Structure 1
Amino acid sequence: MKISKETVEQNRERVIATAARLFRERGIDGIGLVDLMKAAGLTPGGFYRQFKSKDDLIVQAVKRSYKDMSEDIAGRIAASDDPLETLVRHYVSDYHRDDPGQGCGLAAMAADAARHDDPELRECFGSIVSNYIGLLTKLVPGHSAKAKRSAAIAALAEMIGSVVLSRVVPDPALSGEIIDTVSNDLVKRHAKSSRTA
């Protein structure tokens, strides 16, 4: 039985959405294609009609996770009187730590991507890093473009690092302490900088 183009596209979107969630939860190499297709409610046989390879799907899933996270962040900061604090408090949070499948792909998959030799995947992550630096550069206080960019890079590294570390430690108290310390420090430091800028 022939499947309509619309059904094929819906199935492709379902696979990408499922992969975006599962790759963030389990890592890029943490789930095979058979299990991934099963989780999407599809048979593995259709995979290669929709994607060139698993690497192709990984890139599509990374782009989807970035798109979803970016839309969420954009909505939050647009509705905020203090966009930087809103971004930091949302990103460096218990919620983000505890739900990697809905969180940032950088915090969940960057270490995996660094071990992959697919240039398209690395290019994709490089673009995401640049986009986040660009966003933070607009939000952090500073006297010069160079100072703002440096502060944005440091803030991004602290934000991602704190989420990664808070996920890996088994002690819930230490995990929470990492989140609270980094979140509070970033907000306090940049609030002080904005008063002197």
Structure 2
Amino acid sequence: MRYSANHKMETREKLLASSAVSAKTSGFSTVGVDGLMKAIGLSGGAFYSHFSSKDELFQAIVERELAHSLDRLSGNGVMDSAKLERCLKQYLSMNHVEHPEAGCALPVLGAEIARSDVQVREAAQTWICRLHDGWAKVLGSDSLAWAILSQCVGALVVARMLVTPEVQRDVLKSSHEEISRRLAERQSD
């Protein structure tokens, strides 16, 4: 059976998208190659025509998902303080807590990235630094950009660890209020 010229590329994209959702909802290490391929209707053996290893797939997922996060959180290259505030409000939301598959990869994959090989960590660093640089330009401060980025990711991790929606909302609200206070102080300087 002959496949179209785009078939391999389309299959690879399906595998990346499906594997990213799986990784962001259940963790990457929990699903084997056969399970990842079964999710897109193919046999495990077909995996190796797209990636040489599961680690290579994870690196591709990290790069893809962090690129998507950068697009969402940097305003597609056009960022100002009002747009940053809207991004922060969306990031620190119950919708983001309840739908990890549709949100930022850092809160859900951060620990797995930290345990990965240097190539994965370098890829993550590239995208995280791009996000930081964009925010630092808007904020006029490298350290404030790192602090806000870290607080956002940490708040989401903590909120997702909790069971009660009211407590989750408190974590998100407190973090958002503290970040907003820091931003207001920065603007009044």
Q: Deviations over 1:4-39 (max 9, x none)?
A: 331111101110111122111111212221111111
CA distance in 2, matches of 1:154, 1:42: 43
Q: Aligned match of 1:181 in 160, 164, 174?
A: 174
Contact 1:21 1:65 in 2 (8 A): no
Task: Work out whether residues 15 and 37 of structure 1, in 8 Å CA contact, stay in contact via their aligned partners in 2.
Answer: yes
Match of 1:153 in 2: 146
- Opposite residue 60 of structure 2, the aligned amino acid is Q
Say if 2:163 is the partner of 1:163: no
Rounded to whole Å, the distance in 1 between the matches of 2:184 and 2:86 is 12
Return 5+ residue gaps in structure 1 as ranges: 143-147
For structure 2, the residue ranges without an aligned partner over 5 or more in a row are none
In structure 2, distance between residues paired with 1:77 and 1:13: 24
Q: Which amino acid aligns with 2:135?
A: L
Change (3 A) 1:174 1:84: same
Within 1, Cα distance between the matches of 2:50 and 2:75? Answer: 31
Aligned to 1:137: 136
Question: Which one-letter code corresponds to 1:54 in the other structure?
Answer: K
1:111 and 1:82 map into 2 onto residues whose CA distance is 31
* Aligned 8 A contact 1:76 1:86 in 2: no
CA distance in 2, matches of 1:138, 1:54: 36
Deviation at 1:181, TM superposition (A): 0.7
Please name the residue that 1:70 is paired with. Answer: 70
| Conservation of the 8 A alpha-carbon contact between 1:21 and 1:101 | yes
Contact 1:77/1:83 (<8 A) preserved: no
Q: Distance in 1 between matches of 2:81 and 2:114?
A: 36
* Structure 2 counterpart of 1:96: 96
1:194 Cα shift? Answer: 0.6
Query: CA–CA distance in 1 between the matches of 2:77 and 2:164?
Result: 31
Structure 2: distance between partners of 1:76 and 1:183: 22
Measure how far apart 1:76 and its partner are: 7.6
Distance 1:80 1:139 in 2: 6
Preserved CA contact (<8 Å) 1:166 1:176 = yes
After TM superposition, the score normalised by the length of structure 2 is 0.91
From 178, 182, 186, the equivalent of 1:193 is 186
Show the counterpart of 1:105.
105
Instruction: Give the 5 Å matches for 1:8-157.
Output: 8-75=8-75, 78=78, 82-116=82-116, 118-140=117-139, 142=140, 148-157=141-150
TM-score, reference length from structure 1: 0.88
Q: CA deviation at 1:80?
A: 7.1
1: CA distance between counterparts of 2:23 and 2:15?
A: 12
